[in-house]
Every structure is written in C-alpha cells, then in structure tokens.
Amino acid sequence: MWKPEQRIRYQPIDGHWPDEEQAKRSAVFKAVDLGPITLDQKTWIPAMVPWRSNEEGEVTEDVIQWYERFAQGQPGAIVIEATGIRDIPSGPLLRISHDRYINGLNELVKRVKAASDNKTKVLIQIIDFLTIKRRPNRDVFLSRFLTITPDHITRLNAQGLGEGEIRQQLIELSDDHLRDVLNEREYNQLSHGYREYVTDLNLPHIAELPSVLPDLFANAASRADKAGFDGIELHYAHAYTMASFLSAKNNRTDGYGGSREQRIKLPLEVFNRVREAVSPSIAVGCRFLSDECIDSGSDLNDACYYAVEFAKAGMDFLSLSRGGKFDDAKQPKVGSAAYPYTGRSGYECMPGHISDDFGPFGRNIEPASAIRNAVKAAGYTTPIVCAGGIHNFDQAETLLIEDKADIVGMARQAMADPDWFRKVKSGNGQQVKLCEYTNYCEGLDQKHKQVTCQLWDREALDEADVRKSHDGKRRLVAPAWTQKTVKKVALKHDN
C-alpha cells in the first residue's frame, strides 16, 4: 500500500456531537431532493464491494444481511456495490446482466428498505470493466505468450534465428536489457499482467465499445428499475471503462477520445440511453473523479467541465471520488492481478491514517466545492455528493453549511459503525465507533476476501445466528446496537 513520504500518523477526531435537538435542526439531517426522489437526510453510503455474492453473481443471503445492517442505521441513501452489466463470469461480483437477476435484486431492495423502516433510499452502482490478467511468470511469458515481432528481431540483432532461439535469448536477458527490447506495453504486460485499454482500437470488441455500451448500461438500468431501486449510479470513476473514456489519456481516434468534448461523448450517450430506459420516478446520476491523480491524467478542470455537461444533460446527482487507477498501481506478485488502490492515486481514493501534512480527512472537499461552484455558475442545482475521510458530525455539518457539497458520503465510517446516522440523530454521537482509516478492510478487498471491519469482526463470535467468513474467524456484519433511552422520571416530593 502506497503511503505519503511524510508518514504522519493521524487519528479520527470526535469533535462535537449534537444533542437530539441540535441534530434535528442541523443541515445533515434535513431532507434533500435528488431529481425525482427525496432523501430523508443528507447522508449517503457510497458503493463498497464486500465480496458477498457467489460465482454466479447472485444476491445471496450474505449480500442481503450486509446491506440490511447498513439500513438499520437509516442513512439517507445506500448505493449497492459496483454491479456488472455484462453476462460474463466475474467471480463473486454482483451482476445485473440478465433478467434472471431481477428477482434476487428485488428481494434485496425489499429487505433493505424494510430494515430501514422505509427511511433509506436504495440505489445501485452499475459498472463495465475491461479484461485484466494476472502477472505472468517471466519465463512462461517470454517462451509462450509474447508475440515475436520484427522489432524484437532488430533490437536483438537476431536476423536469421528461429523463433525458439529468439525466445531463449529473451529469457537470458537481464530485466534492464529486456526493457530495451520490449515495447512499453509488452514490458507492462510482463511486469504487471496484461490489461486492455479503451484505446486498443485494433481489438474489435474495444473499437465497438461506443456502439455496445449504451445498450448494455440501459438494459441493466431497466432491470434495476424492475427490481425496485430508487436510483442508478453510473460508475464513471476509478480504473474502469467509462472513467477511461473520460481520462485525458484517452486518445481514441474514432471521435470518442482526444478532446474533452469527445471523451465525454460516450458517457453522455450512455446516460441518455439509460434515462430513456427507466421510468421518470428513478434518479439517475454518476460517480466520477474530481481528479485522476496520475501523471497526464484528467484533473480538476476536466472534472468541472464534465460536471457541468452532466448537469446540463439532466443527471439527478453527481457523486465524486478521486484517484483509484491502474496506471500507478504497485507491481503485483506473479500470479496476482494489479489492484488499482496501491499507488498514489489509490491513496487519494481511500486515504489511510499514515499521511502527509494535509492528512487523510476531507481530501476531496475543496475539489468538490470547486466542481459544485462550476455547476452552480452554469445555472444548475444538481446535488453533489462528496466522500473521503469524513467521519464526525462537525466535518459533515461544516461541509454542508459552507456550501461545499450537498450530500455527505461516508464509506468506511459507515462500515466501521453502520449506526452512525441513527446514533448522531438521536443525540448519541458519543457512542459512535470512529473509523481508524487503517485500511484493513481494503486489504481484504484486495484479496477478494469477504470485507469486514477490524473494529467489530471478532466481537461476540459465539452470539446465536452469527454468520461468519469462509474461514470461520470473522463475523460478517457488525453486532446490533440497541438504543438505550433514559427515561426522565419526575421526582415526587412529599412536601
């Protein structure tokens, strides 16, 4: 995991917790409109993949209980994890790629809403991603997978040699020398594993993305509509297909890359098809990056431009994240795939407690504020969701009253304590368990293990009906919180 050089250790801050009356009057607990739907309060649990589905990508009882537990805290909205729109095996990642998924997703919506006493709106994040493979063994790659080209022969001065001899020469080269013989793409394939880029126009299935993605997203959105979701979040963030179209590194030459206007073309076409495919009562928005946080990537200026265009197109909300790219990911071990949260951009996405002078809390607030100002200046009121290290009431309230965002997103804090919202609203903020931003949960995500939080996953393991991780060592959801009400008893005096 990448850490800033300064290595300054931070702890979450309690700040001031409001009493029940103050909470009631606060901005955090006021309702907010999201296009056709209204959130009961300005709080939002952003998408988090917990690896609870099965190899078929179905809604399992573990998926349901994970989200029911969040719903018991009664936040304004829960966004169900990144859910695949293509009907292809994707490991235990939830899928919405065929009508056979509708019933399971409908059950999820019903149970999550019931668990929140119908107070929480339920959205789903829908995602497309390109192929990424594990880092290969060096000898196997050079002897079997690498395609030998005339460039290799010239650089090796190996004219007249057979393919087997050329491969043997490559195997015997030092890594430094090999870097000179292979092109950048081939070297990356060897050092990090093969992955597809949206700029691979030589691959027919990549060239045709602009003609297939609008329908794939629209069909998935229509299933979400049938399953009863209140809203759809298009995943235009991090390391995945749509973010790669928005990226300044997208130099496609077919009208969908190059200038900002061309890079946003497909994301807008996808949105328009999705909007047409679902009923007007459903909110549709997207999650995108305030900054890719990589060399030559899109920056805050690009994000302001995108936000205005998305607002103009009629999106009902804009949720902001940052970073989380493959471009600067750490080299994976042989046999493992690159993980997009291991470089500096990954740190910006999920900042941990060891940080720099700024610290891990609220790194996305100023960018979100600039994006919100750009949207407002263009005459739109599209609500902006901001997340990243927000954990206490003061941060949340200040963000809103200083008009820097419209909705407060808390991902890891909600995982650390799903009852944050109910505790704070009822004047019990002192009982909140604060996220320590150690990223233990992210480490589990990286290994595709069932994600849990270190603050509660070993607690009361012998409780009846506790569902445990595959190895039986961790509970899968946080223990229940029971609100203890202290009755005010009028004291009787005899005289």
Ligand X SMILES: Cc1cc2nc3c(=O)[nH]c(=O)nc-3n(C[C@H](O)[C@H](O)[C@H](O)COP(=O)(O)O)c2cc1C
User: Which residues of the chain form contacts with ligand SF4 (CB under 6 A)?
Assistant: 412, 415-416, 435-441, 453-455
Residue 445 beta carbon to ligand SF4: minimum distance, rounded to whole angstroms: 9
User: Of 190 and 478, which has the nearer Cβ to ligand X?
Assistant: 478
| Partner touching 387 among ligand SF4, ligand X, none, CB below 5 to 8 Å by kind | ligand X
Nearest to 138 by CA among 98, 102, 100, 178: 178
* Segment 254 to 273, residues that bind ligand X, using CB under 6 A: none
Residue number, 70 or 271, with CB nearest to ligand SF4:
70
**From the list 12, 257, 388, 418, which residue makes contact with ligand X (rule: CB under 6 A)?**
388
- Single out the segment in contact with ligand X by CB under 6 A; choices: 34-42, 45-53, 262-270, 454-462: 45-53
Report how far residue 212's alpha carbon sits from residue 455's, in angstroms, rounded to the nearest whole number.
Answer: 43
Least distance to ligand X from the beta carbon of 143, Å? 37
Binding partner of residue 454 among ligand SF4, ligand X, none, CB under 5 to 8 Å per kind? ligand SF4
* 318 scored as a contact of ligand X (CB under 6 A): no
Minimum Å distance from CB 168 to ligand X? 44
**Is residue 384 part of the contact set for ligand X (CB under 6 A)?**
no
1 versus 166: smaller Cβ distance to ligand SF4: 1
Q: Which residues are CB-neighbours of 238 under 8 A, at least 6 positions away?
A: 289, 321, 323, 324, 325, 340, 349
| Nearest distance from C-beta of residue 52 to ligand X, angstroms | 11
| 18-26, 43-51, 243-251, 453-461 -> range binding ligand X (CB under 6 A) | 43-51
Could you give phi then psi for residue 58, rounded to 5 degrees? -90, 160
Q: Does 369 bind ligand X (CB under 6 A)?
A: no
Residue corresponding to tokens 């059950």: 107
| Residue 321 beta carbon to ligand X: minimum distance, rounded to whole angstroms | 4
CA distance 133 to 474: 29
User: Contact, 56 vs 88, CB < 8 A?
Assistant: no
**Is residue 342 close enough to count as binding ligand X by CB under 6 A?**
no
Distances in Å between the Cα of 478 and the Cα atoms of 74, 187, 429, 471, 474 are 15, 44, 17, 17, 10
Of residues 224 and 408, the one with the C-beta less far from ligand SF4: 408
Residues that bind ligand X (CB under 6 A): 46-49, 81-82, 125, 235, 237, 287, 321, 349-350, 387-390, 409-413, 441-442, 445, 451
